[in-house]
């Protein structure tokens, strides 16, 4: 702290620090610094804010703007040199940690038919959400999952995993979601390249969704104690069907329409300890009310078009667009169609907020619950 | 104990009681009886057996033998007088507690189109498995579920519930499964008739399976903390589909083929605290090996035909037949068809065995794991 | 059911069975019996009672009446022949299952200095509460615990265990508490004699209470996943001290005074899955109000004297007396001393009631919450 | 990223990114930046390190150096202006977030007899460890706890709390420990000043330790579901006694001597969701072996003297000194006395590591498990 001023954060409020710099105090502060210490009252109001103020800004990334750049990476770099050809989303407020929002990383990855990335493992948790193409697959600890558009697949903390596209497939693009920034911040990041660069497929293809994907059913021989979901792949078709069926019997949430969380079927809890995911349906013409809560959220439009208002700023979106909602930002969503439903995929750090006891939520009270668009 | 002999249970084994009656001891025993006490060594070997010996006997109830009697009850008694027209399964070893096996009750209930039983609540937990007919329904705490053959529905401990058949349906027969004998044994049975005799349907029909029936999904607004599954109805079609899909990627259990347990999606645990349920598929020609375990089991043949060997006795079964396996009885199952699969529905007290830490299991070691049929 | 009458349980209440025997019906019932079935309406009101009616009766066993008989057993039988010299409490309503109340067994065991019982294991869970003598010990899976009056020790389901008295001790008497009747009823009882008849002490004496007995502390290397408490021994001194300290800051329960449950420190839950235990303090002159609940309870007076009213019957007790409260019996307790506190040890099947979802409780509304003594 | 170089993090290892800047690529990168995106391979090796490299450095803060400065703050600022008079520990690597190590804040607070801080609540979790003085107290949600040296008290997330010193006490100094940096990083920090500035004491003094502090006991009326320990205060005397007793029956951990974690007695888990705490005893002459693990740790010497080696650097400590161990730093501890034991209090973010699945541990293999001191 080379600053000559120590009283930047003063607040004239009972119970808050309000100490003016004096020569004597400044001398004292300098002595404290020598001892690798400081006076709390010089920073208390800074480090104990009245409420969160996110470093991240709301951003919408248009797929039609990004897609060409993603495809171009195939020509510009080889998989051998680049590892993976990924364009990552770089929130203007989080460039120091390469985050899309908060402590979440996201990128768009492209792969040509017949290509396969090398296998690795890391203490970050990851998910993939398929955007386009046929023939994509992911292998997790010897289990191979085939993937189609709007499917969502897990590659949890500590698993050997790799991605590829079948030789008879088409160019595939998907969204990666990881907690890399969080794991780095927690100073707990480990990385390993698979000794054989590729791992063997040691189980029948798509076995985990077959074994664990029963509706209200658990396999008798399924003795699963790992801290993440054994389901691995969550397919689009049954998810969408569940949302539609659900939408016919409930009003849904005033803030989110009909929203369902992807869960670990063994526990009913989140799919991984650090990343949650959900899919939500907005009925034709539905416009939700605004609320805000802690946690960082990345959305991808799985179906339809509409707009979201985030901290007073309107973002219009259509299929495959991606946008983020920072912590404690007011947000509301609207389906622009009067005839078709709109569906948003989302991943977030809600499990972290809940584990650490930090989740808080507040509805917008004013203006019928709708923000004034700036 | 009016017996003059107190040394019936002697065993000449180190660590076991082996005390012969003497005049002095008998006099002592009589004094103890006056004090509402006894000498442990006179009963120790009886109350601490080397292994369980069930009071129940294996029984197979043929549906074609029972069906006429079930239907006849409709002519013999009115719902108003009988409450419910049910023929219950009465295990020869458990007639004192009206149990089908162990502490489980089961009966076959019949209802004509347009009939409805009165609503009641009890501390027993119950399930219904639909055997035949169209238009059956169950109402649980205001939630109405429509039911078809091989569907399975819960009416848990403490819920208001009632059954009926739609006016445009057909005569319906279903199997009831309850823990009535257990709850009575635990001296915890309460019963109440609904003040209005019928309860109102206060939610959209089939809302609970729509809200909670997502595959790997949890409703956002679902804040369920009751000790039983909110899914209420488990439909046959997705269950059978899950078994078939599962059977393609695993060998299944050597003792049970491909077996899946019905679960509470909120916890991944059993559907109710006292009754578990499962569905298992035996592939064409599959004959499982024998094992035995604690807990009592009632099976209904949902599809196909075959046989089971229980404690050395062979029971041939076909669709809709019901049979029971007592605690610690060796049992194995075989599908008699070389072309079709066979499917067994089962309910049991496994959750009790697990909660109380009493589950034990043993494979038959001899004869390639198959019992010698007596 | 050799009875010629099938309409014993009729009730003229809407929603209950009320079917009169007719020759046609009796013929039908006999046909059903041939098929190992029955008509539910003939037994429904019996097996679905309005509320529990316990088979057990309230009993108080006076220690001064039992003590001589217990001591006499030492002269009458040898440990080799008797296994253990125990006088068990035989509730007049439960003699068929040798229970003290409900599904709980209890007995008074005596042992002379230098004696040791043989080691065994069983699927019943057991506890001992020390009544008198010096030098008693229990060994559980190689861990030896030394025991003094009012100490309480566990020998859980599946553990090798044995009891003895040090050569330099005195004759010891303790109360055994087990779930033998429950485990037999569940048809899950296994018993094994230790191959060496005595097991070796493989850990420092009293190590488990030293490792797990910290107040608000857990040992770093304590990785305990067994379903019972690793604390094994609960000593009287810190328990009494905790009750006294607790009694100074709370009013306690209107029904139980200051009551604390013994817990598994790893989970905060009951000490064993099938048996709970507690210690409660009644302040000088304290007389609690009456309530009733499901579950069976056995009390021993650890300190002081007073009386309990159980289903309208008054039982006066003093130190070392034992009494039982059957399920759903109203009960209230009073300390007869105006100057000293009274302390009751209790063990019960509350964990079973809670696991199975069968716990219910009701306060006595009339007469200021006090029963009229008959 | 105004840098002209994008290839800073290249690694020539199969499976890692190794792309050299070319004019074409740099142009591409600039286009990506316009779209608020970047190329993963330019940062992949930076954000996916092989193993953690902490931003924090090991520091030892000597109490005898800090004490005067802490006391001087009393003369320099008033409680009204400063809020609290605290000198916080400012790790050279974490000055941007005012952390002592990792995401943990710590400070030394001083208060004169008769003083009381104003009551507030925040979403940070806090603990206090008393260093010197008589008469300190903390009030948490109306529960007042009196505090002595080496006592440890909780003021969890969301509770109203305040500190003070009794008028007849002496000047008190204690260590504060909070997760302020973590909560800010998670963008979940809320702060509120109590409307009355002081809260009323609404329960008997020290009631929570009396109610919840039984050894292996739970209060009957204690229905606690909050995510933190109701014990609130952990006293030094029983903690030290437990360590000594424990040390007599086990060898302890090769890395930590005899270490016990403070727990929430309701669950057996950590005292708060984000901060764990422990106390460990090093026997006379004991020198532990080195290991490293994820998570950040702050130690205070509660008793005795000795040294710790952290990442090859030796730190000698004596009573009241404070030091920190950053994530993944090798560390070992030694008691310098041949006759007295040494005891270290520690608080840390282990619960976060465990909740998020990020805990990893590694023993030092070389040199008999001891670091070479640099």
A32 interface with D at CB cutoff 8 Å: yes
* pLDDT beyond 90 at A287: yes
Residue A221: predicted pLDDT: 83
The number of beta carbons lying within 10 Å of the beta carbon of residue D124 is 26
Element (H, E) at D173: strand D172-178
Element (H, E) at C40: helix C40-47
The mean predicted confidence, pLDDT, of chain C is: 96
Task: Identify the CATH number of the domain in which residue D200 sits.
Answer: 2.60.120.10
Calculate how close chain A gets to D284, using CA atoms only, in Å.
31
* Residue C100 sits in the same domain as residue C24: no
Which chains contact D through at least 3 pairs of Cβ atoms less than 8 Å apart? A, C
Interchain contact, A242 vs B213, CB within 8 Å: yes
Determine phi and psi for A242, rounding to 5 degrees.
Answer: -65, -40
- Token pair belonging to A42: 């010089």
Is residue B55 domain-resident?
no
Q: Determine the average pLDDT of the residues in B127-154.
A: 98
Q: For an interface test with B, give the residue of C81, C92, C186, C350 to mutate (most B CBs within 10 A).
A: C186
Element (H, E) at C31: helix C23-34
pLDDT digits (tens, 9 = 90+) for B44-97: 999 999 999 999 999 999 999 999 999 999 999 998 899 899 999 999 999 999
Residues near B255 by Cβ (< 8 Å), separated by ≥ 6? B288, B289, B290, B291, B332, B363
Residue A1: predicted pLDDT: 43
* pLDDT beyond 50 at C290: yes
Calculate how close chain B gets to A206, using CA atoms only, in Å.
8
C73 interface with B at CB cutoff 8 Å: yes
Number of domains observed in the structure of chain D: 2
Q: Determine the average pLDDT of the residues in A82-96.
A: 96
pLDDT digits (tens, 9 = 90+) for C19-56: 999 999 999 999 999 999 999 999 999 999 999 999 99
- Cα dist. D91→A1, A37, D4, D85, D171 in Å? 12, 8, 32, 19, 27
- Token pair belonging to C221: 């290397």
Dist CA C228 CA B332 (whole Å): 33
* Residue D208 sits in the same domain as residue D338: yes
Is residue A341 domain-resident?
yes
How confident is the prediction along chain D (374 residues), in pLDDT tens digits per residue? 455 799 999 999 998 999 999 999 999 999 999 999 999 999 999 999 999 999 999 999 999 999 999 999 999 999 889 989 999 999 999 999 999 999 999 999 999 999 998 999 999 999 999 999 999 999 999 999 999 999 999 999 999 999 999 999 999 999 999 999 999 999 999 999 999 999 999 999 999 999 999 999 999 987 899 999 999 999 999 999 999 999 999 999 999 999 999 999 999 999 999 999 999 999 999 999 999 999 999 999 999 999 999 999 999 999 999 999 999 999 999 999 999 999 999 999 999 999 999 999 999 999 999 999 98
* Residue C42 sits in the same domain as residue C64: no
Domain boundary among A32, A50, A68: A50
D91 interface with A at CB cutoff 8 Å: yes
Q: Which residue of B has its CA nearest to A216?
A: B263
Is residue A64 domain-resident?
yes
* Residue D214 sits in the same domain as residue D362: yes
| Per-residue pLDDT band at A374 (split at 50, 70, 90) | confident
Is residue D374 domain-resident?
no
Nearest CA to D182 out of D295, D86, D346 is that of: D295
pLDDT digits (tens, 9 = 90+) for A230-280: 999 999 999 999 999 999 999 999 999 999 999 999 999 999 999 999 999
Q: Which residues pair with B218 in a beta bridge?
A: A261
Domain that holds residue C262: 60-369
Alpha helices, H only, chain A: 23-34, 40-47, 63-76, 79-82, 180-185, 207-212, 236-247, 350-355
Share of chain C above pLDDT 90, in %: 96
| ipTM of the complex as predicted | 0.96
Q: For an interface test with A, give the residue of D24, D47, D154, D293 to mutate (most A CBs within 10 A).
A: D47
Is residue A55 domain-resident?
no
Is residue D217 domain-resident?
yes
* Residue D184 sits in the same domain as residue D92: yes
* pLDDT beyond 90 at B4: no
Which chains contact C through at least 3 pairs of Cβ atoms less than 8 Å apart? B, D
Q: Which residues pair with B164 in a beta bridge?
A: B116, B137
Q: Let me know: does B138 contact B206? Beta carbons within 8 Å.
A: no
Angle at B266 between CA B264 and CA B267, to 5 degrees: 75
Calculate how close chain C gets to D50, using CA atoms only, in Å.
29
* Residue C180 sits in the same domain as residue C92: yes
What 3-state DSSP class applies to A362?
strand
Nearest CA to A263 out of A287, A234, A291, A240 is that of: A234
Using a 10 angstrom Cβ sphere, with 0-12 exposed, 13-18 middle and 19 or more buried, the burial of residue D271 is buried
Is residue C53 domain-resident?
no
Angle at A359 between CA A354 and CA A360, to 5 degrees: 160
Strands (E), D275-352: 276-282, 291-293, 297-303, 305-310, 313-318, 322-325, 331-335, 342-348
Between A and D, how many CB-CB pairs are < 8 A?
A: 297
Contacts of B118 in chain C (CB under 8 A): 14-15
* Residue C26 sits in the same domain as residue C110: no
Interchain contact, C84 vs B357, CB within 8 Å: no
C187 interface with B at CB cutoff 8 Å: yes
Contacts of A354 in chain B (CB under 8 A): none
Between B and C, how many CB-CB pairs are < 8 A?
A: 296
pLDDT digits (tens, 9 = 90+) for A151-192: 999 999 999 999 999 999 999 999 999 999 999 999 999 999
pLDDT digits (tens, 9 = 90+) for B184-207: 999 999 999 999 999 999 999 999
* Residue A140 sits in the same domain as residue A8: no
Calculate how close chain A gets to B239, using CA atoms only, in Å.
7
pLDDT digits (tens, 9 = 90+) for A299-350: 999 999 999 999 999 999 999 999 999 999 999 999 999 999 999 999 999 9
* Residue C187 sits in the same domain as residue C262: yes
Q: Determine the average pLDDT of the residues in C79-88.
A: 93
Nearest CA to B167 out of B206, B130, B112 is that of: B112
Contacts of A212 in chain B (CB under 8 A): 216
Instruction: Annotate D235-284 with DSSP letters as a single string.
Output: -HHHHHHHHHHHHTT---BTTTBEEEEEB-TTTSSBSSSS-EEEEEEE-T
Which of D217, D249, D252 minimises the CB distance to C207?
D249
- Token pair belonging to C204: 């420092």
* Residue D97 sits in the same domain as residue D140: yes
Is residue C206 domain-resident?
yes
D201 interface with A at CB cutoff 8 Å: no
Residue D3: predicted pLDDT: 54
Residue A79: predicted pLDDT: 87
Residue B222: predicted pLDDT: 78
Calculate how close chain D gets to A76, using CA atoms only, in Å.
7
Burial B78-109 (b: 16+ CB within 10 A, else e): eeeebbbbbbbbbbebbeebbbbbbbbbbbbb
Dist CA A157 CA D357 (whole Å): 8
Contacts of A346 in chain B (CB under 8 A): none
Residue B231: predicted pLDDT: 96
* Residue C332 sits in the same domain as residue C195: yes
Using a 10 angstrom Cβ sphere, with 0-12 exposed, 13-18 middle and 19 or more buried, the burial of residue A200 is exposed
* Residue A183 sits in the same domain as residue A255: yes
């Amino acid at each position: 702290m080379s600053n000559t001023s120590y009283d930047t954060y003063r607040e004239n409020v009972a119970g808050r620090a309000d100490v003016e710099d004096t020569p004597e105090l400044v001398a004292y502060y300098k002595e404290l610094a020598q001892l690798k210490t400081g006076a709390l009252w010089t920073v208390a109001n800074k480090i104990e804010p009245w409420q969160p103020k996110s470093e991240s800004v709301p951003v919408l990334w248009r797929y039609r703007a990004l897609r060409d750049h993603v495809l171009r990476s195939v020509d510009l770099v080889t998989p051998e040199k680049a590892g993976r050809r990924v364009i990552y989303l770089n929130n203007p407020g989080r460039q120091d940690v390469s985050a899309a929002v908060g402590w979440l990383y996201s990128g768009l990855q492209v792969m040509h038919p017949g290509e396969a990335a090398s296998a690795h493992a890391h203490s970050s948790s990851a998910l993939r959400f398929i955007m386009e193409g046929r023939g994509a697959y992911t292998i997790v600890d010897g289990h191979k999952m085939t993937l189609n558009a709007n499917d969502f697949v897990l590659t949890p903390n500590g698993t050997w995993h790799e991605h590829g596209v079948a030789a008879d497939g088409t160019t595939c693009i998907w969204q990666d979601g990881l907690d890399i920034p969080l794991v780095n911040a927690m100073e707990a990041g480990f990385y390993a390249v698979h000794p054989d660069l590729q791992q063997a497929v040691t189980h029948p293809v798509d076995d985990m969704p077959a074994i664990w994907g029963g509706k209200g059913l658990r396999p008798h021989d399924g003795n699963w104690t790992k801290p993440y979901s054994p389901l691995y792949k969550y397919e689009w078709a049954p998810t969408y069907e569940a949302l539609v069926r659900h939408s016919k019997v409930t009003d849904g949430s005033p803030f989110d329409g009909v929203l369902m969380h992807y869960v670990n079927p063994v526990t009913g809890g989140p799919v991984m300890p650090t990343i949650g995911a959900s899919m939500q349906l907005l009925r034709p013409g539905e416009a939700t009310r605004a609320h805000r809560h802690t946690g960082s959220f990345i959305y991808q439009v799985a179906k339809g078009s509409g707009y979201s208002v985030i901290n007073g700023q309107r973002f219009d979106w259509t299929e495959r667009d991606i946008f983020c909602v920072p912590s404690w930002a007011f947000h509301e969503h609207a389906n622009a169609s009067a005839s078709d439903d709109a569906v948003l995929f989302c991943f977030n750090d809600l499990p972290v907020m809940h584990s650490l006891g930090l989740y808080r939520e507040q509805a917008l009270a004013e203006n019928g619950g709708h923000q004034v668009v700036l």
